[in-house]
A = this chain, B = another copy of it.
Amino acid sequence: MTNNKTEQFNNKQKELASYAKVLSHPARIAIIQLLAEKKEIKTCTISDDLPISRTTVSQHLKILKNAGIIQGTIDGLKIHYCLDMIKLNEIKENYNNFLTAAISDYMCKC
């Protein structure tokens, strides 16, 4: 684009937007749900369960990891991924606060 204006918003707005961006692809929602169910899982198992290639899964995992939503530990050849419950809780609280603040019983004429 001609000009990136994103940095001109406040930090809370940028933070909320960036978490939303992480959650804005169905594959990443699906990965979170899969990790919630299985608790611990490796990349190849994830791509077996999803309609996307191993490479693409790997990239989505990277995005989730950079956001601090998942963690991975190396176990020989395999890497076990799991959810970071503290981070997830923080995101939940942030969105709850934002949306609760926006919602009121005001009824406009729209």
How many identical chains are in the complex?
A: 2
Main secondary structure of the interface of A (DSSP, over half): helix
If A80-B108, A95-B92, A102-B83 touch, whether A13 touches B36 (CB-CB below 8 Å) is no
Q: Is the CB of A9 within 8 A of B30?
A: yes
- Compute how far the CA of A95 lies from the CA of B81 in the bound complex, rounded to whole angstroms: 22
The contact size tier of chain A is: 35 or more
Of A16, A25, A91, A108, most B-chain CB atoms within 10 Å:
A108
Report yes or no: A51 in contact with B88, Cβ–Cβ below 8 A: no
Instruction: Give CA–CA (A14, B23) in the complex, Å.
Output: 10
Across the interface, do B80 and A8 meet the contact criterion of CB distance under 8 Å?
no
Chain B residues, CB < 8 A from A5: 27, 51-52, 56
